[in-house]
Amino acid sequence: GAVVSQHPSRVICKSGTSVKIECRSLDFQATTMFWYRQFPKKSLMLMATSNEGSKATYEQGVEKDKFLINHASLTLSTLTVTSAHPEDSSFYICSARGYPSGSISYNEQFFGPGTRLTVL
Amino acid sequence: KNEVEQSPQNLTAQEGEFITINCSYSVGISALHWLQQHPGGGIVSLFMLSSGKKKHGRLIATINIQEKHSSLHITASHPRDSAVYICAVKETSGSRLTFGEGTQLTVNP
């Protein structure tokens, strides 16, 4: 099956700094990428949806100036948490959908391994 | 009421037991996903269904579109199956997934 990678897997940063998380589709072209946030023992919360080459669509309540999303190519999307605060500490997961092909079905969505962010 | 409801929320089984996790939804969907999340967080997509039944190894997923219900079955359960299992649906309209709250499965040796 298709693979989505995230980097870094975990990051610890000081309050006020910015952190960039990369999400890559390794063996397929991702037409749409999704960024989720997950709190302990809770389900995934969609933050934003991005299509290659266009601006991300943010969910209600998600600050677009704080969580900058760039989907510059069909295999890479980045999430930058700007001026991070301790309340931004969370598990961030990206997911991708690709063009239907021999190995990818329409509607099929692949998830990255997640990035655990801790802001001190 | 959540659009996607899973039951049970928690499930403890003995190794070898047959396990069923249920998912009911209230919206029109184009696809239903079963996901597995191990401690440490990584999510693995187990199945994507739009009708009928799929099998992969010891895992079986079924869906009844008319009843808006899906089940995930694990045969001959093993401690390594211990994880959170999440049902997610893609609504007919829109591109997002709507997630259930997850089922925490613990399989004891």
Q: What is the mean pLDDT of residues A95-120?
A: 84
The answer to whether the Cβ–Cβ distance between B33 and A109 falls below 8 Å is yes
Please give the Cα distance from A20 to A107 (Å, whole number): 28
Residue B1 pLDDT more than 70?
A: no
Residue B24 pLDDT more than 90?
A: yes
Amino acid at A35: W
Q: Does B97 contact A at CB distance below 8 Å?
A: yes
Q: What pLDDT is attached to residue A18?
A: 97
| Nearest residue of B to residue A107, measured between CA atoms | B31
**Regarding beta strands A57-58 and A67-73, do their DSSP bridges make them parallel or antiparallel, or are they unpaired?**
unpaired
Site from A28, A31, A37, A43 to mutate, B interface, most B CB atoms within 10 angstroms:
A43
Please give the Cα distance from A63 to B1 (Å, whole number): 27
Please give the Cα distance from B85 to B59 (Å, whole number): 12
Which residue from A46, A109, A116 is facing B41, i.e. has the nearest CB? A116
The answer to whether the Cβ–Cβ distance between A109 and B97 falls below 8 Å is yes
Q: What pLDDT is attached to residue A3?
A: 87
**A34 strand-pairing partners:** A49, A95
Q: What pLDDT is attached to residue B51?
A: 92
Please give the Cα distance from B7 to B84 (Å, whole number): 12
Q: What pLDDT is attached to residue A1?
A: 62
Q: What pLDDT is attached to residue A30?
A: 87
With pLDDT > 70 as the criterion, what percentage of chain A qualifies? 95
| Nearest residue of B to residue A39, measured between CA atoms | B41
Chain centroid to Cα A31, Å, comes to 14
How many residues in chain A?
Answer: 120
Residue range A53-75, pLDDT digits in tens: 788 999 999 999 999 999 888 89
Q: What pLDDT is attached to residue A100?
A: 67
The answer to whether the Cβ–Cβ distance between A107 and B31 falls below 8 Å is yes
- Chain A / chain B CB contacts < 8 angstroms: 51
Chain centroid to Cα B95, Å, comes to 20
Percentage helix, strand, coil for chain B under 3-state DSSP, each rounded to 5? 5, 60, 35
